[in-house]
Structure formats: structure tokens, C-alpha cells
């Protein structure tokens, strides 16, 4: 049972990379438009990245575009 | 990089305010570049703007990114830089994070996207105001009490043969494991239900099982993100702590506060989300 004692981010406290990537690779607003790298391309790349964090889903289905489970 | 071709990297949307100028001063994002608000000159007060910085075009081309996204060191550095910018602002205002590596050819194209998306961004920012994301994770802790093969002598009944003793011990170990996992699934559901009671929305992330996850912490059986109203945050943390205390063999961890990364696209109906897998260990 571990809970941070404070409710505000501590300066210099480093969040776990695995928790950060959970959020940064699947979360955040996806804005379409005149992007350099389309989100569809990032999604392709993400599949191998996600394997670092979680077991690859047995169905082999790619992750949904909007990051919702 | 003044003369080199550069792209516009967009971190997040937020409403500019004079008090944020001091936060932005000295704040550096990816490529250690200074971060600034980008908004049309005719922007109405209170309208969302983009938080941006410039990145060298040759290192952030599609081709370059495809390769670099596979490089964990680069990925970590970029993720932490992206997060640093968003976290710095989150302490002072509502921030709507954008997907990592949202890049435009130049500020004009980013502004065009901003103009088009402003109503949606403003609406989302309003919904997220006075709310904070927290992670709720549960782990089944390794059980030192589970007898392993060869540890059967203490069981009392004298084994007839080493082979049979081994099998008996293996069976006992297997049953203990099964019980444990069944209990872990129930525990994960209980924790998720308690957390959801205090959350405006819940998003279930996949449990963390890859090499990046902390194996020493036990097996991750729940990995939820909860969007909690700020006036509920204390009650939420107390409740999750309490439920964790009642569950032997299960460790509960609350992460955050986070910017609302997991809620940038809000689920349509109120929480809890019903489409995700039930919590618990994988078979």
C-alpha cells in the first residue's frame, strides 16, 4: 500500500515511465489537419511500443485510434 | 536553430493568462526548446491557444520519427519533455494535452488547425476544469507463504516417494495460485468500484505486464485512470487507501495528480465505462 503523502506534484519527482507512456501513447487529443506525421502512422509504430508496456493482445487487433480501451 | 528548417510541435491547448507568462519563462520542451502560446492575433479573451515549441525539421520528419519512436531512450526523453511542459502548466490552469508528437509544418498550419478546433477544445477544457486525473493501480504481491516444490517436508504428512511428494507440492502450489488470482480479480473489482464512486469518469488502461513494468511490485491486475472533481480528491484518496487496507496480498497504488491525458476524449456516457475488460489477472 503506497500512497504519495501530498496531492501536488513534487518538484523533481519522476513519474514511472510505464505510467507516462500509458497516457502519452494512447491519451491526449488527436487533432487532424495538416500534420507532418499522421496519427495513423503513429498508431502503426505504437503497436510495437505497446508491447513494451503490456502483453500484446491475443486477438492481434490494432489499438483503437482514439486510445479508448 | 534560427536558420534551420523547423516544425511546430504542439503540446496542449490551454487558455492563456498573464499569470502563466512567468511559468512559461524558462520552460523548455522537446529538443530543449523554449515553449510559448500560439494564438491568432484576433483571439478573443478566454479562447484556447496552443502551447508550442519549434523542433528541427530534419530530426522530426516522418521518416526520422518512425525510427526514433522505436528507440526507448529517445522515447523516454521525449515523453518526459512533453510531460514536463504539460505538468508545469497544469499546476496553474486547466490543460488539455495533445497526443505526443503532434507536429505541423509551421505556425500558420498549426493556427489553421487551432481555428478549426477551437470550439471543441474550449468545450473540452470547460468540462475538465476543476478535475484532476489519478491512476488507480492494484498489484497482487508475491506470496512468500506459497509452498514450492521441495518445501513439502513441513506439511506434516510423510510423503511416500519423492516423485509423489513433488506432485503433491506442485498441486498445492497450483491451487494456492488459483485461489490467489481469483481473490485478486475480486479485489481489483472492489477497488475499481470504490474509486469509480468518486470519479466523474473512468478509463481502463491495459494492465502493465511488459518489461517496463515493475516486476518487483507484484503482478498488476488493475490499471484505471479516474477523473476526479477537485473537491472529491481527498475523499477519493482516503476511500481507495481504505479499501486497499482491507485486502491482504493486494497492494493499491494511486498515481498522480496527472493532467487529464486519459480524458482528452471523454467517454460519451458517465462513468464507469462498461466496454472494457473486467479487471483482474489474465488467465
What are the extents of the domains in chain A? 17-53
B146 and B256 part of one domain: yes
Summarize pLDDT for A55-64 with one digit per residue, the tens: 333 333 333 3
Q: B139 φ, ψ to 5°?
A: -125, 140
> Residue B241, exposed/middle/buried by CB under 10 A (0-12, 13-18, 19+)?
middle
B97 and B157 part of one domain: no
CATH at B204: 3.30.70
CA distances from A53 to A26, A28, B63, B72, B210 (A): 12, 18, 24, 11, 4
Supply the pLDDT for residue B69.
78
| Number of helices and strands in chain B (H, E) | 6, 8
- Is B54 domain-assigned? yes
> Could you say which of A16, A30, A34 has the minimum Cβ distance to residue B99?
A30
- From B63, B3, B62, B8, select the one nearest B31 (Cα to Cα): B8
B116 and B11 part of one domain: yes
- A21, containing H or E segment: helix A17-26
0.80 surpassed by pTM: no
Query: What is the ipTM score, two decimals?
Result: 0.80
Question: In sequence order, which residues have a C-beta less than 8 Å from that of residue B140 and are 6 or more positions away?
Answer: B180, B181, B184, B218, B219, B221, B249, B250, B281
Task: Please say if the pLDDT value at position B269 is more than 50.
Answer: no
Confidence of residue A51 (pLDDT cuts 50, 70, 90): low
Question: In sequence order, which residues have a C-beta less than 8 Å from that of residue B188 and are 6 or more positions away?
Answer: B138, B221, B222, B250, B279, B280
Chain A (25-64) residues lying within 8 Å, Cβ to Cβ, of chain B: 25-37, 39, 41-42, 45-46, 48-49, 51-55, 57
- Is B66 domain-assigned? yes
B33 and B101 part of one domain: yes
B138 and B259 part of one domain: yes
Residue A53 to residue B69, Cβ atoms within 8 A: no
| Residue B21: other Cβ atoms inside 10 A | 11
B137 and B255 part of one domain: yes
Percent pLDDT > 70 in chain B is 85
B122 and B164 part of one domain: no
Residue B204 to residue A52, Cβ atoms within 8 A: no
How far apart are the C-alpha atoms of B23 and B35, rounded to whole Å? 10
- Is B171 domain-assigned? yes
State the nearest Cα–Cα gap between A23 and chain B, in angstroms: 6
Runs of H (alpha helix) within chain B: 21-24, 62-68, 72-90, 107-128, 162-197, 233-245
Please state, rounded to an integer, the average pLDDT across all residues of chain B: 85
Task: Please say if the pLDDT value at position B232 is more than 50.
Answer: yes
User: By residue range, what is the domain housing residue B143?
Assistant: 132-263
Supply the pLDDT for residue B148.
44
- From B130, B51, B149, select the one nearest B98 (Cα to Cα): B51
B197 and B125 part of one domain: no
State the DSSP code for B30: G
State the nearest Cα–Cα gap between B263 and chain A, in angstroms: 7
Provide the 3-class DSSP secondary structure of residue A11: coil
Confidence of residue A37 (pLDDT cuts 50, 70, 90): low
B98 and B179 part of one domain: no
Instruction: Specify whether the CB–CB gap between B105 and A34 falls below 8 A.
Output: yes
Supply the pLDDT for residue B225.
97
Amino acid at each position: 500500500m503506497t500512497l504519495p503523502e501530498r496531492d501536488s506534484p513534487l518538484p523533481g519527482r519522476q513519474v514511472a515511465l510505464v505510467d507516462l507512456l500509458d497516457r502519452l501513447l494512447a491519451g491526449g487529443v488527436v487533432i487532424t489537419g495538416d500534420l507532418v506525421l499522421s496519427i495513423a502512422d503513429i498508431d502503426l509504430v505504437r503497436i510495437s511500443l505497446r508491447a513494451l508496456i503490456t502483453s500484446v493482445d491475443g486477438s492481434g487487433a490494432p489499438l483503437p485510434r482514439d486510445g479508448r480501451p | 536553430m534560427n536558420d534551420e528548417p523547423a516544425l511546430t510541435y504542439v503540446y496542449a491547448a490551454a487558455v492563456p493568462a498573464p499569470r502563466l507568462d512567468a511559468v512559461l519563462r524558462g520552460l523548455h520542451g522537446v529538443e530543449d526548446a523554449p515553449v510559448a502560446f500560439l494564438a491568432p492575433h484576433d483571439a478573443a479573451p478566454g479562447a484556447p491557444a496552443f502551447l508550442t515549441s519549434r523542433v528541427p525539421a530534419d530530426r522530426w520528419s516522418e521518416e526520422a520519427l518512425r525510427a526514433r519512436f522505436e528507440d526507448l531512450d529517445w522515447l523516454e526523453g521525449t515523453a518526459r519533455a512533453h510531460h514536463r511542459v504539460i505538468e508545469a502548466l497544469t499546476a496553474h490552469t486547466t490543460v488539455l494535452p495533445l497526443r505526443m508528437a503532434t507536429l505541423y509544418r509551421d505556425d500558420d498550419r498549426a493556427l489553421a488547425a487551432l481555428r478549426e478546433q477551437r470550439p471543441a477544445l474550449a468545450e473540452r477544457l470547460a468540462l475538465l476544469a476543476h478535475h484532476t486525473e489519478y491512476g488507480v493501480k492494484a498489484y497482487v504481491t508475491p506470496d512468500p507463504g506459497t509452498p514450492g516444490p521441495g518445501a513439502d517436508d513441513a506439511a506434516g504428512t510423510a510423503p511416500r516417494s519423492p516423485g509423489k511428494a513433488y506432485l503433491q507440492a506442485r498441486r498445492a502450489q497450483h491451487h494456492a495460485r488459483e485461489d490467489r488470482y481469483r481473490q485478486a480479480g475480486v479485489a481489483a473489482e472492489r477497488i475499481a468500484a470504490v474509486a469509480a464512486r468518486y470519479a466523474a469518469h473512468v478509463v481502463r488502461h491495459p494492465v502493465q505486464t511488459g518489461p517496463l513494468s515493475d516486476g518487483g511490485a507484484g503482478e498488476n491486475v488493475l490499471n484505471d485512470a479516474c477523473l476526479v472533481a477537485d473537491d472529491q480528491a481527498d475523499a477519493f484518496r482516503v476511500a481507495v487507501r481504505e479499501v486497499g487496507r482491507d485486502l491482504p496480498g493486494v497492494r493499491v497504488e494511486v498515481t498522480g495528480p496527472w493532467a487529464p491525458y486519459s480524458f482528452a476524449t471523454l467517454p460519451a456516457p458517465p462513468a464507469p465505462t462498461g466496454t472494457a475488460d473486467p479487471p483482474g489477472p489474465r488467465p
